[in-house]
Amino acid sequence: MNLRKEQIKGLTELFGSSYIFVPGNGTASANATDLQNAYNTAKAMTPYGAALSATNRVKIICGAGTYTFGSTFTLNTQYIDVISLTGNADVMINGIAVTANDVFVKGINCGTSAFTIANNLNLLVCEKCIAGDSSFGGQQCNASGTFVDCTAGNNSFGGGWVGIASGTFIRCTAGNRSFAGYNDTGWGNTASGIFIDCTCTGYGSFGGEGTASGTFTNCIAKDIYSFGNNGIASGVFRNCVANGRSFGYNQPAASTGNFYNCINSGGSGFGGSGKFVNCTNTGDFGFNDNISGVRTASGTFTNCASESHSFGSGDADALGSASGTFTGCIATGECSFGSRGTASGTFVNCVGETYAFGGWWANEGTGTTGVFINCKGGDSSFGSHVTAYGTFINCRATNYSFGAYGTASGNFNRCIGGTRSFGGYGGTASGIFIDCIGTDNCFGGTAAPGTFTNCNAGFWSFGAGGTASGTFNNCTVVDNGFGAYGAASGTFNRCTAGTNSFGGATGGTITGKLFFCRLSSGTFTVPTGSGKLTLCIDGNNSIQTT
């Protein structure tokens, strides 16, 4: 390219057909004058003999220095780019405004002054620029351009009330209420763009208290109210980190986003209606929507973790509902997976503590109606006070679980419960039980009308305080079992029990049929009605047939 020196309004400039160089080595005000003159000249240029266009541009190249304008430096003409000679943010300008759409700006440093842009400049590209509050699209502005390695203060990148960030943002950093964020609901903030490696150092970011419908990758929100919290988180989130009350938690509408490897480190994180993979809420209250007064987890959750009151857990204000699909999920505190409500989803390899899987200490909700495989709960879990009528395979809980105070009417295969489980606390065991184990007071405290195969229990079990009217195959109880204080009216095959069993306590009766059963101590009560003993052995090793 042939270069030439000319006098442009008293300024000696080096320029070619498509660029002008401003040295920036004068005083701050002189530098500003030179830059303004260069910009005015660029407007009239015809690079390579043609008019300015998207493919025929002029670059104003600025040397490192301070440029102090008497009023805001305004870029109001398309296809004129302003860039730093070094590519770094070393062109110090006390405020800039961009109103033209197709403009490239690089290396401008406004310090604490604003870098303002007009609404919806979708062709604007800003790279390595620094500015103060309300920059790169403040409130009531749609930041729809492309921003790379830019830094701003509060209310930036479409931040503040009614802000929109629909552009592309790469490695950008801002303060409070930025990236279409705000800290109050109902203002229509929307983060619908593409966000990669971006960071908000304050609160209310990335569509916070509004809508986060864009694509977010490796983004960090260092304070609360972020990523569509109390609004709608319907975008795609990968490897993002927030610090409490984020990722659409407790929102009044469904959170339909896709979340991968995301972390909320301050509790109250993640809604309950989207897809969640390897996500962690390192505090209480995680993975809950608040829809029509119900804390809901209806999405798909894989290898996710939270603490108490999580995964569709209810509270004093609302019942819980866990109706989604949960695989390899862990809740390390009490009240999880539909606690104080209903667990109607599918749960595989999940772990909860007290009041998990539709459990609670009072009769609220409908309990467990879902499918549970290889799951573990603490006390009062799996529909403890209401009903356990789902399907349970290889599940384990401690005391007062599996419909303890209500009804265990589901299908139970290789399950283990603690004291007073499987309808054992004055409840009913009417389901199908195969290879199950309970401790004391299990399998129907007042009634055991179900089907039991290869099941074992401690004292006062299998309808001990009422009626054992079901079918029992190869089952064992320590003492006071099988309708001990009521009636052994079912069918018993090869069952073994201790003292006072098979209706053997005071007031008990045998009206059912016992085949090849055994008492480890004591003798059988004489059957009445249609009751019958066939080749049974009592505690004295005497064979009894009636």
Per-residue HEC secondary structure of 139-192 comes to CCCEECCEEECCECCCCCCCCCCCCEECCEEECCEECCCCCCCCCCCCCCCEEC
Q: Are 315 and 295 in contact (CB under 8 A)?
A: yes
Residue partners of 202: CB distance under 8 A and separation at least 6: 154, 174, 175, 176, 177, 178, 222, 223
Per DSSP, the three-state class of 246 is strand
- In the chain, the amino acid numbered 539 is G
Task: Please tell me the predicted confidence (pLDDT) of residue 3.
Answer: 29
- Report the pLDDT value the prediction gives residue 184, as an integer from 0 to 100: 66
- CA distances, 273 to each of 29, 121, 237, 270, 308 (Å): 57, 34, 14, 9, 19
Q: Which residues of the chain are under the pLDDT cut of 70?
A: 1-14, 183-187, 250-254
Residue 41, SS3 per DSSP: helix
Secondary structure (DSSP) of 503-527: TTSTT-EE-SEEES-EESSS-PPPP
Answer whether 169's CB lies under 8 Å from 157's CB.
Answer: yes
pLDDT of residue 507: 92
C-alpha distance across the termini of the chain, in Å: 116
**What are phi and psi for residue 98, nearest 5 degrees?**
-115, 120
Helix, strand, or coil here: 74?
A: strand
If you ran DSSP here, which 8-state letter would residue 416 be given? E
Residue 160 has what pLDDT? 84
CA 201/CA 220 separation, integer angstroms = 8
What's the pLDDT at 183? 64
| Cβ 187 vs Cβ 209: under 8 Å | yes
Q: Give the whole-angstrom CA distance, residue 48 versus residue 453.
A: 91
Task: Classify residue 384 by its DSSP letter.
Answer: T
* Contact present, 168 and 192 (Cβ < 8 Å): no
The predicted structure's pLDDT at residue 38: 97
Q: Which residues of 94-110 are buried (b: 16+ CB within 10 A; e: fewer)?
A: bbbebbbbbbbbbbbbb
pLDDT at 7: 39
Q: Distance between CA 417 and CA 322 in Å, rounded? A: 22
